[in-house]
């Protein structure tokens, strides 16, 4: 690519500083591209995606349309999937790069009519993209199979993982469990609470880090569920925390657990591995591919029995936790770095014709 083409626009919905895995991915890619010499012009698209107000959607389309013809533009899939009807005219004279963290219609809890509408919109939009970047092989397969997209149009750019200092954890008979993820139905906290309710005779505590305001009804339901199971004194919601504060939670934990119903990749799992934590996880193909044997226990999807057994195994056996922690540290060394992710992302952009 000629030097003058090392310039792109990056369009994103909402607040880029939102502390979630998807926004974290966007921030690290943008920062890395800039460090690599790319000019990255940010295009904020407004709030409410993938269900924005009509006026917000119209303004988002206008802002993308204002990007000069001939200039490549990366559009985060949380917004792009809602732009089906506008994608055709936006693609005229522009190289549109869709960044898909996971198909929108697969979000848990959507009414069937809403999911169908999202699927149609996202399929229409992705058909107009020059190329599609996804964050895991499992998501690549979903984009191919659900939307009929040709494989050569899809590129996998795995998230990076920061290398963490080796943690020295004191031996304890009351392990600290950690779960990291926004408080929404997809993250499966209800499944985790059901499993922990069966282990009330064991010593453990659980810290949950994640935005409690995204779905306030879900948060209140979970609080009620804790009280009903008599677990409210053993579980602490910390809300969203900054990227700078999050490592402290990993450093104080003994076991990481996330009972997701679905993940496009699962950056929290790899962050836990990087901190030398035994991992218990669920959430379909992307999670199964991410979790290494010997360092993690994969529990399928919505399988409270397997989740209970995995928790009991690691909570009860200190030596087992130590063995899994050592395996996690070794597995973390094979994970891609953020520089690897930026290099792969940049390589896709370099192929623009």
Confidence at residue 163, expressed as pLDDT on a 0 to 100 scale = 83
Cα–Cα distance for residue pair 51/49, rounded to 1 Å: 5
Angle at 311 between CA 309 and CA 316, to 5 degrees: 100
Average pLDDT for 258-266: 92
Q: Does 50 sit behind a cis peptide bond, omega within 30 degrees of 0 on the bond before it?
A: yes
CA-based end-to-end distance of the chain: 8
Question: Looking at the predicted structure, is the pLDDT value of residue 267 above 60?
Answer: yes
> Which distant-in-sequence residues (6+ apart) come within 8 Å of 63 by Cβ?
11, 43, 44, 45
Confidence at residue 5, expressed as pLDDT on a 0 to 100 scale = 61
pLDDT band, residue 166 (cuts 50/70/90) = low
Which domains, ranges and CATH numbers included, belong to the chain?
3-160+336-350 (3.40.50.2000), 176-332 (3.40.50.2000)
Confidence at residue 2, expressed as pLDDT on a 0 to 100 scale = 39
Beta strands in the chain (DSSP E): 7-12, 39-44, 73-76, 96-100, 131-134, 154-156, 176-180, 205-209, 235-237, 255-258, 279-281, 296-298
Query: What does the block give as tokens for 255?
Result: 């076991």
pLDDT band, residue 3 (cuts 50/70/90) = very low
pLDDT band, residue 70 (cuts 50/70/90) = confident
Q: What 8-state DSSP symbol labels residue 234?
A: T
> Which distant-in-sequence residues (6+ apart) come within 8 Å of 263 by Cβ?
102, 269, 283, 284, 286, 287
Average pLDDT for 177-182: 97
Dihedrals phi, psi of 242, to nearest 5 degrees: -70, 155
Confidence at residue 109, expressed as pLDDT on a 0 to 100 scale = 83
Confidence at residue 353, expressed as pLDDT on a 0 to 100 scale = 55
17-54: string of b/e by CB count within 10 Å (b at 16+)?
Answer: ebbbbbbbbbbbbbebbeeeebebeebbbbeebbebee
Distance of CA 307 to the CA centre of its chain: 21
Are 135 and 168 spatial neighbours (Cβ–Cβ below 8 Å)? no
DSSP structure string for 281-318? E-SSHHHHHHSPBTTEEE--SS-HHHHHHHHHHHHH-H
Average pLDDT for 225-246: 94
Owner of token pair 């310039």: 7
> pLDDT by residue (tens digit) across 10-35?
999 999 999 889 999 999 999 999 99
Question: Looking at the predicted structure, is the pLDDT value of residue 316 above 80?
Answer: yes
DSSP structure string for 80-119? HTT-HHHHHHHHTTS-EEEEESS-GGGSTT--HHHHHHHH
Average pLDDT for 190-207: 97
pLDDT band, residue 286 (cuts 50/70/90) = confident
Confidence at residue 22, expressed as pLDDT on a 0 to 100 scale = 93
* Averaged pLDDT of the chain: 94
Are 283 and 262 spatial neighbours (Cβ–Cβ below 8 Å)? yes
Query: What does the block give as tokens for 247?
Result: 């490592």
Question: Looking at the predicted structure, is the pLDDT value of residue 285 above 60?
Answer: yes
Q: What 8-state DSSP symbol labels residue 225?
A: H
Question: Looking at the predicted structure, is the pLDDT value of residue 4 above 50?
Answer: no
Confidence at residue 92, expressed as pLDDT on a 0 to 100 scale = 87
256 - beta bridge partners? 178, 279
Cα–Cα distance for residue pair 102/99, rounded to 1 Å: 9
């Amino acid at each position: 690519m000629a030097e003058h083409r090392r310039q792109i626009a990056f369009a994103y919905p909402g607040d880029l500083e939102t502390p979630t895995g998807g926004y974290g991915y966007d921030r690290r890619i943008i920062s890395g591209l800039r460090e690599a010499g790319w000019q990255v012009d940010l295009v904020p698209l407004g709030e409410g995606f993938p269900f924005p107000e009509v006026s917000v959607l119209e303004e988002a389309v206008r802002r993308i349309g204002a990007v000069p013809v001939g200039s490549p533009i990366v559009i985060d899939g949380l917004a792009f999937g809602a732009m089906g009807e506008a994608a055709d005219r936006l693609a005229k004279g522009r190289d549109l790069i869709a960044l898909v963290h996971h198909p929108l219609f697969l979000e848990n809890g959507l009414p069937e009519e809403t999911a169908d509408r999202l699927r149609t919109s996202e399929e229409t939009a992705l058909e107009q993209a020059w190329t599609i970047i996804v964050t895991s092989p499992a998501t690549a397969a979903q984009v191919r199979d659900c939307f009929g997209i040709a494989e050569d149009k899809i590129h996998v750019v795995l998230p990076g993982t920061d290398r963490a200092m080796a943690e020295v954890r004191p031996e304890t008979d009351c392990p600290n469990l950690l779960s990291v993820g926004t408080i929404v139905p997809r993250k499966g906290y209800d499944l985790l609470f059901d499993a922990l309710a069966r282990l009330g005779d064991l010593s453990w505590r659980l810290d949950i880090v994640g935005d409690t305001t995204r779905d306030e009804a879900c948060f209140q339901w979970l609080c009620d569920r804790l009280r009903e199971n008599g677990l409210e004194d053993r579980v602490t919601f910390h809300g969203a925390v900054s990227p700078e504060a999050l490592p402290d939670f990993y450093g104080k934990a003994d076991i990481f657990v996330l009972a997701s119903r679905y993940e496009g990749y699962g950056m929290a799992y790899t962050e836990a591995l990087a901190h030398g934590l035994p991992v218990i996880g669920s959430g379909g193909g992307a999670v199964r591919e991410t979790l290494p044997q010997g360092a993690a226990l994969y529990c399928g999807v919505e399988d409270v029995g397997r989740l209970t057994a995995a928790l009991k195994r690691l909570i009860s056996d200190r030596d087992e936790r130590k063995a899994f922690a050592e395996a996690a540290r070794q597995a973390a060394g094979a994970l891609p770095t953020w520089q690897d992710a930026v290099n792969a992302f940049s390589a896709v952009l370099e192929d623009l014709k």
